[in-house]
Each structure stands twice: as C-alpha cells, then as structure tokens.
Amino acid sequence: MADLMQGKVALVTGGSSGIGRATALIFAREGARVVVSDVVIEGGEETASLIREAGGEALFVSADVSQAAQVEALVAKAVQAYGRLDAAHNNAGVEGSSMMTTDYTEADWDQVIAINLTGVWLCMKYEIPHMLKSGGGAIVNTSSAAGLLGFRRGSAYVASKHGVVGLTKTAALEYAKSGIRVNAVCPGAIDTPMMGRLTDHRPHRAAKMASFEPVGRMGSPQEIAESVVWLCSGAASFVTGHAMSVDGGLVAQ
C-alpha cells in the first residue's frame, strides 16, 4: 500500500468493471476507503470484495447516475458510511449506438446524454456540498479522446464527452477558491468491456483499434486509474479545470 490517498474517502461510479474498477482498487491501494457504485450489482459487489480481500475498506451502493434521487441517495450513503467525501471519480458511462448522426433516434440519444453528461452533472451537484462542508475535495470526471475530437458514428457519445470537458472547466472555475479541484481524464482506446462491445469481441477489430494508437497498443484500465488517483491526490494541488489526455498520443496527431 502506498499513501497518496491515506485517510480519504473516495467515490467511484461505474465501478463494476473496466476503468472504474481499476480506479476503485488503486484508490484503496493508496489508502482510501472506497464507495463503489454502478447499476451492475454483481460486478460492483465483486469490486468491493476485491478491495476487502486486498485488505482495504469498501462498500457497494447501487445507483443509476441519470436519476437525481438515486445519486442523492448514493452520496448520502457514502457520507453516512464513512463520515465524509474527499474524492470522486464520476466515471459511469455508455457508448450508445454506432450510427450516423441522421440515423440516431431520440431514444438512443437521450440515454447517452442522460448517463454520460447529465449523470456527471448530477454526481457533482450532490458531491460538492459535502466537499464544501469538509473544506475541500477533488473530482475527476471521465471524458474521452472523443471529448476532444470527433469520431464518425458516435455523435451522442462525442457530444456527451465534449460536454463533460466543458462542465468540468465550469465547475472548476466556480469552486477553485473553495478548495475543490475538478478535472477530466480523456482516455484513448482502452482495453475494457466497453471496448469489447465496440469491437464485437473480434481480435481483428481490436487490433485495428490498437493500430490507431500512436503507441501501437490499447491502454489498460489501470493506466487511466493511476492518472485519476494522482489527480485526486495532494500532489496535483495546482491542477484544476484540466482535460488530461491519457491516450498513447491519440489526440496529439
């Protein structure tokens, strides 16, 4: 165990798999007590067990981040269980349908925006008051390389992730003087269950995805998680309002 997050309480949404699970595990490795949340109960419970098996402290709370009442209850349960909230990784997201802008249906669109963008806003809406009470905190929102660049057949995802960057900057400015830092992380192609769905679990499609990466490989969930946890730590005390690319050079092209 290291000590980047010693004595702190961290909340991770989308913590049942992929990047969220990796962040929850690394928060715990660095000494934080972790509240894991997701709509996928089995995976979320498993993440909490993995943390406890490694000697850490964790709690799973089921919540759909697109529902205000559920987000409010989630944050309240976190504070009730551990007494405070110091760090939050608002990470829950969906990829949505893969189709051209004109073919997108309102139902497809609404779901992606509700989870990826409104969900991040709702999380901050209920997290920030608790951080203000305890004198500060740090938030990292999961955007994407698609929060900085366009991608064909991903209009709702791209719009939601661009929105997360703008929302992150705005919240960062609003709470900069109150000791709350707000940053976004922009992952490139990462080897997660979401990526598995996007490549239809076919190796040649995954290889093609990796070939878009200047480093020639996909990133691992742990590589994003290390950035997120570092951004939440005291070492990043002057970093706020930043959209941090962790993408093997993808957006530098």
Partner 1 sequence: MGTLTSGKVALVTGASSGIGRAAARIFAREGAKVAVADVHVAGAEETVKMIQDAGGEAFCMKADVSKAAEVEAMVGAVVETYGRLDCAYNNAGIEGALASTAEYTEADWAPVIAINLTGVWLCMKYEIPHMLESGGGAIVNTSSAAGLLGAPRMPAYVASKHGVVGLTKTAALEYAKSGIRVNAVCPGIIDTSMVGRLRERRPKMFQKIEAGEPIGRMGQPEEIAETAVWLCSDAASFVTGHAMAVDGGIVAQ
Compute the least distance from the CB of residue 18 to partner 1, in Å: 14
Told to judge if 175 belongs to the known catalytic residues of this protein, a careful annotator would answer no
Task: Check the CA dihedral 249-146-184-172 and report its sign.
Answer: positive
- Does the footprint of partner 1 cover residue 248 (CB under 8 A)? yes
- Does the footprint of partner 1 cover residue 246 (CB under 8 A)? yes
Residue 204 phi, psi dihedral angles, 5° rounding: -70, -30
- For residue 46, count CB atoms less than 10 angstroms from its CB and return exposed for 0-12, middle for 13-18, buried for 19 or more: middle
Residue 155 or 240: the one with the smaller Cβ distance to partner 1 is: 240
Residue 107 or 252: the one with the smaller Cβ distance to partner 1 is: 252
Contacting partner 1 (CB under 8 A), which of 44, 169, 201, 202? 169
Residue 198 or 239: the one with the smaller Cβ distance to partner 1 is: 239
How many whole angstroms separate alpha carbon 67 and alpha carbon 87?
21
- Does the footprint of partner 1 cover residue 238 (CB under 8 A)? yes
For partner 1, the binding residues in 196-235 under the rule CB under 8 A are 213-216, 219-220, 223-224, 226-227, 230, 235
For partner 1, the binding residues in 42-81 under the rule CB under 8 A are none
- Does the footprint of partner 1 cover residue 158 (CB under 8 A)? no
CB 81, CB 133: distance < 8 Å: no
Residue 173 or 207: the one with the smaller Cβ distance to partner 1 is: 173
The one catalytic residue in 82, 104, 126, 157 is: 157
- Does the footprint of partner 1 cover residue 154 (CB under 8 A)? no
Residues forming the active site: 157
Binding site for partner 1 (CB under 8 A): 168-169, 172-173, 176-177, 188, 213-216, 219-220, 223-224, 226-227, 230, 235-242, 244-249, 251-253
